[in-house]
Structure 1
Amino acid sequence: MPKSTSNGSDLSRRERQIMDVVYRLGKASVNDVLDRIPEPPSYSAVRALMRILEEKGHLKHEQDGPRYLYLPTVPRESARVNALSHMVRTFFGGSTEAAVAALLDESQSRISDAELDRIASMIDQARTQGR
């Protein structure tokens, strides 16, 4: 039985690349992944990695004729939130403020006024909801 995982922290770089392809396509075969990852390893290596991702609980498969199509077990948004929460706990001691400050500092020349307005609106909404 596959074990359930709540975040992507246990994934290798190559496993994250595979998951990205599967999320983008909704479901993907080994060949779909091979066509879309940089410097892909062999077919059998990708197939083995997808089987490992299934064992870790990140993917499930369905039969499509002679081939397997792999699907994510968790919606992308849920996986994104879980991974971000893990990152904030791991690198920022659980401080959302420190994480946002780091993002703003890193991106100061790339954040438009419109983006800053949307972020301010999200903060206002979080305040009114008591978060």
Structure 2
Amino acid sequence: MNRLEQGQLSRRERQIMDIIYRLGQASAKQVQENLPDPPSYSAVRALLVTLENKEMVKHGKESRRYIYKAAINEKKARKSAIKNLLSTFFDGKPQKLVAALLDEESEQLSASEISEIRKLVENKED
């Protein structure tokens, strides 16, 4: 089982990964400062250790502090998350995911977003 298949990330773990991807690298303090409704510093450190155990981040030392970087590029992480979403909620079928996005009741997509999706699908077909 590779590191991307070791399990889903919690909401906080995803938030931390988003921060690290956005900043490129971050100390625990920087992560804490960028989290919404941030937990304690020790809780952030524990989450970073968990992410390191899941092989999602790695750390190096800068002076007396650890600096965390993503261990997987963002594109691979995104693909894994989508694969997980598909298998968990949509029977592994992308068309069911697209149908859910296009559901009129949810009104999640604008006309321009739908147009962009059409163009992407047409380009894939060519």
Higher RCO by CA contacts (8 Å cutoff, separation 6 or greater): 1
Is residue 71 of structure 2 the alignment partner of residue 68 of structure 1?
no
Choose the corresponding residue for 1:114, options 102, 108, 112: 112
Question: How many residue pairs end up in the alignment?
Answer: 126
Q: Which is further off, 90-99 or 10-19? A: 10-19
Structure 1 residue 125 displacement after superposition: 1.8
Choose the corresponding residue for 2:45, options 44, 47, 60: 47
Structure 1 residue 106 displacement after superposition: 5.9
Mark the CA change 1:38 to 1:8 in structure 2 (over 3 Å): closer, same or farther: farther
Unmatched segments (≥5 aa) in structure 1 = none
Choose the corresponding residue for 1:98, options 89, 96, 106: 96
* Structure 2 Cα separation of the partners of residues 7 and 107 of structure 1: 33
Mark the CA change 1:58 to 1:106 in structure 2 (over 3 Å): closer, same or farther: farther
Q: Classify the secondary structure of the residue corresponding to 1:6.
A: helix
Q: CA RMSD in A?
A: 2.1
Q: Which is further off, 111-120 or 60-69? A: 111-120
Q: Residues 11-58 of structure 1, C-alpha deviation per residue, up to 9 Å, x if partnerless?
A: 222212211111111101000011011222221121121011111100
* Structure 2 Cα separation of the partners of residues 8 and 46 of structure 1: 20
Percent sequence identity is 42
**Does the 8 A contact of 1:8 with 1:79 survive in 2?**
no
Question: What residue number does 2:123 align with?
Answer: 125
Compute the TM-score of the two structures, normalised by the length of structure 1: 0.84
* Structure 1 Cα separation of the partners of residues 108 and 62 of structure 2: 44
* Structure 2 Cα separation of the partners of residues 121 and 66 of structure 1: 50
Compute the TM-score of the two structures, normalised by the length of structure 2: 0.87
Structure 1 residue 4 displacement after superposition: 4.3
Mark the CA change 1:92 to 1:7 in structure 2 (over 3 Å): closer, same or farther: same
Structure 1 residue 74 displacement after superposition: 0.9
**Aligned partner of 1:25: which letter?**
L
Q: Residues 67-99 of structure 1, C-alpha deviation per residue, up to 9 Å, x if partnerless?
A: 111001111121111101111111110111110
